[in-house]
Structure 1
């Protein structure tokens, strides 16, 4: 594996730990390309602001002990695919669902394109809709 591919994997791992898990806004700004596009986000929230909002205004208040567990990373060229889980104890409201006090797990697979050492594009799928549906039924 070439050095750029390994460096790209480290950038994505750093993002997952420092930004998603720790909520570090300085790292977020350092790691985001000015032209970043999140292809998985709803129209109107596909830029960097929509991504940090999801982590720090939706997930973190619901799960203050939020943790990211990375199971696997596969990289080729400027793309890094990561299989991970975002988990935590739901002590706050998650969207419209009141706190349950239970641990929840959101499985995620995402693909990130790195450009100039920064997040340039993102595509992803996750089980948040299934988790929300399960929580509504409890």
Structure 2
């Protein structure tokens, strides 16, 4: 089960975040999914999650790649330390395109049940990156 849950998270990172595959997203996300780390005012359900990846992140960083550094799993919980990187060729959350290589460090905790994301918690360096880019 733990190996399966880690594989689900790896698949989500490659197929959904990196490739923008909506079919994979729909296959891997539970209808009752809750993003416990969604910013205030943002949809914390499945639509908010796919919207962030495919309407905010991917247009800003079209060559996005995800590097998984570590994964630890226990029961239904999978914690992943990863880097999301690429070139910021489009605007992101109010910051104009810079053409710079960018990296977002992430630590995610995902509860996986029956092969699907049920809950997510995350800490990222996105706010720091945005602050740095806006000064460029």
Q: TM-score range by the shorter chain?
A: over 0.9
Unaligned stretches of 5+ in structure 1?
Answer: none
Q: Does 2:24 match 1:9? A: no
Partner of 1:65 in structure 2?
Answer: 63
Aligned counterparts, 1:16-35, within 5 A: 16-35=13-32
Query: How far apart, in 2, do the equivalents of 1:94 and 1:34 lie?
Result: 27
* Structure 1 residue 44 displacement after superposition: 4.7
> Given the two structures, how large is their TM-score scaled by the length of structure 2?
0.97
Partner of 1:41 in structure 2?
Answer: 38
> Given the two structures, how large is their TM-score scaled by the length of structure 1?
0.96
Name the count of aligned residue pairs: 135
Counterparts in 2 of 1:106 and 1:44: CA distance versus 1, 3 Å: closer
* Structure 1 residue 74 displacement after superposition: 0.3
RMSD across aligned positions (CA): 0.8
Q: Give the secondary-structure state (helix, strand or coil) at the position aligned to 1:56.
A: helix
Q: Does 2:54 match 1:56? A: yes
* Structure 1 residue 116 displacement after superposition: 1.3
Unaligned stretches of 5+ in structure 2?
Answer: none
* Structure 1 residue 66 displacement after superposition: 0.4
Partner of 1:79 in structure 2?
Answer: 77
